[in-house]
Amino acid sequence: MSRVITNKPEVLVPAGTPEKLKVAIDYGADAVYIGGEAYGLRTRAANFSYDDMAVGVAYAHEHDAKVYVTANIVAHEGNTDGAGEFFRTLRDIGIDAAIVSDPALIEIAITEAPGLAVHLSTQASAANYETLNFWQKEGLERIVLGREVGIAEINEMQKHTDVEIEAFIHGAMCIGYSGRCTLSNHMSQRDANRGGCAQNCRWKYDLFEMPTLGDQDSEIKADEAFSMSAVDMCMIEHIPDLVEAGVNSLKIEGRMKTVHYVSTVANVYRKAVDSYCADPDNYELKPEWVDELWKIAQREMSTGFYYGVPDQDDELFGKRRKRPQYTFIGEVLAYDADQQIVTVQQRNNFGVDDTVEFYGPNFRHHQQVVADMWDDEGQAIDRAPHAMQIITFHCATPVQPGDFLRKQK
């Protein structure tokens, strides 16, 4: 008899807006993490008000999902003002945990908001079991590991601790240690460790020889001769290793990413985790899972530090080696099964004779050619060029509200 995995890990998906929270849960997330209007590291994201949080928590809990709030800044003098009220409000709203890195904020959350679970942020760089045990004794229920931790180290940690472990498994990787970097502070006057990162490591840089620094004639001519920009992480091919290592929560990066990204990563990792945990002895990686993630990739992908120290192939040197092939084009609003007509809210230009792909929760997919199209007044049109335009067209394969559409570039 095939064994069944009893310690199925949580699939944790980013939700930068209320819309993305709902999409993440609909597409398979066990939990989402969001930002509030203070104390988080994504000040440019469309962060949640308390009212937004309450609505999001209600929706998540109705669907047996959890909501975590990031409060992971490095606090300077004055930055802790009001933190007690903030954490108490999270608790009273029903937030399932706060993700915190600064010891002062951790202490405030534990002492002033009893009953609110606290998780240690990856910004704290936890990378050994002694550190995990220290934070567990301080009252934390879960540790988000530093992104420099490998599979072998996680296996060793599990021999010496029983605190929950969360690990990043997909998304952007930071050039700074566990996300801590001051490039933005010096070059853009924006404090990366208090939510203002300008992603200076993603900029293109020229490389000069020191004796002639600043002499444009000495510039080394090459395609992006020097770069600090890391490729993205992708562990879809290594779900068995993560599960067997006892990782409790598989975390996906991307609170500022699109609905297309959120729905796709939730869909893929949900399918992979369920497949492995249901029948690990006969588990098989499906090529379509990997292909699906490439449809929304922004950069090349690698396994980061999980199997060794990254090398030059884990940085974006020179020309891109692979590019995403699909554009997000719309959302299904309704489907008339009798007439076989789908109503779509357009997000990007498409039209008659285009081949489009529908996809939905539980990894449902189908492709078709758009044979006809009408606007919201019933007038026949060839293309839908206007953002958020409502259109209809024939669709023989049943689809559901909340399904999405994309097309190949």
The dihedrals phi and psi of 323, each to the nearest 5 degrees, come to -125, 150
The reported pLDDT for the residue numbered 202 is 66
Model confidence pLDDT, tens digit, residues 136-157: 999 999 999 999 999 999 999 9
The reported pLDDT for the residue numbered 53 is 97
The reported pLDDT for the residue numbered 312 is 74
The reported pLDDT for the residue numbered 311 is 78
Residues 164 and 100 in one domain: yes
User: What is the rounded CA–CA span in Å between residue 291 and residue 298?
Assistant: 14
Tokens of 374: 């009408």
Q: Report how many domains make up the chain.
A: 2
Residues 282 and 391 in one domain: no
Residues 156 and 293 in one domain: yes
The reported pLDDT for the residue numbered 265 is 98
The reported pLDDT for the residue numbered 146 is 93
For residue 3, tell me if it sits in a domain.
no
For residue 5, tell me if it sits in a domain.
no
Containing domain of residue 335, as a range?
326-408
Residues 285 and 333 in one domain: no
For residue 200, tell me if it sits in a domain.
no
- Residue pair 32/262 in contact (Cβ under 8 Å)? The answer is no
Widest pairwise Cα distance in the chain? 75
Q: Across-strand partners of 327?
A: 407
The reported pLDDT for the residue numbered 309 is 86
Domain's final residue, options 314, 346, 363: 314
Residues 336 and 302 in one domain: no
The reported pLDDT for the residue numbered 153 is 97
The neighbour count for residue 362, using CB atoms within 10 Å, is: 10
Residues 304 and 338 in one domain: no
Counting DSSP H helices and E strands in the chain, the numbers are 10, 19
The domain that contains 24 carries what CATH number? 3.20.20.380
Q: Across-strand partners of 368?
A: 356
Residues 337 and 262 in one domain: no
Q: Which residues of the chain are modeled with pLDDT < 50?
A: none
Give this prediction's pTM: 0.89
The reported pLDDT for the residue numbered 39 is 80
The domain that contains 352 carries what CATH number? 2.40.30.10
Residues 16 and 81 in one domain: yes
Q: By C-alpha distance, which of 34, 35, 23, 29 is closest to 9? A: 29
